[in-house]
Amino acid sequence: MTMRPTGTTRHESAVREGIPFVVAATLIATVAGTWRRWAGWAGLVFTVWVAWFFRDPDRECPAVEGTLYSPADGLVTAVDEVDSSWHLTGRATRVVIFLSPLDVHVNRAPVNADLVARRQEPGRALPAFLVAGAGENARQLLGFNACLPHPSPGNDGTVPIVVVQIVGFLVRRIVTWRWPGETVRAGDRLGMLRFGSRTDLLAPAGTVEVLVRPGNRVVGGITPVARFIRH
């Protein structure tokens, strides 16, 4: 479990995260404009794009009991089963979401849950749309315990859920605003990924029915991607 450093505050705002980038882009555009007019206009367009990239729209998650919502905006590129060895151990159902540079890059909680663990793993920065290749990329894993709406006998009423923030070819930093010990609601902001990346959602195999398939576009905190199976 990763402990929160003393004195650290979380922004909980992609807009605030983007201020240094917008300022830098504005300065570059200004300098470029003194050199060539077309360069100044190109710099202005780039500045507008940077500001737009860090948009952070408010959203109201439906939060239907037993439903898991998309943790990111983007394109579903895979729905499969994988082996998981951290927080969620054993076979896991996985939904893979690719975020292009045009998508909102704020990650959101998929369900009401307690954040109980957080882990960083170093790695490469291959294109995030390569499902297999991106498995070697650097990432941050967030481990949640979600409440089952209909716990079975012998079950403590919780199920482990993992959200994986993965860097891509353009992304070089993962920003996370949540720390172990916090409780989140479905749709709450978790953090963001910069300039194109991937987010995975994992749940224990056999506990959820997946509601999306590859090729579907999803909206973070809005689109239902799975629901718990009642046993």
- State the catalytic residues: 197
H/E run at residue 175: strand 174-176
Look-up of token digits 């891509």: 168
Report which DSSP code applies to 105.
Answer: -
H/E run at residue 204: strand 197-204
Question: Within its chain, how far is the Cα of 96 from the centroid?
Answer: 10
Please say whether the beta carbons of 90 and 83 come within 8 A. yes
Please say whether the beta carbons of 193 and 186 come within 8 A. no
* Separation CA 160–CA 199 (nearest Å): 17
* Separation CA 106–CA 110 (nearest Å): 12
Give the residues across from 174 on adjacent strands.
Answer: 193
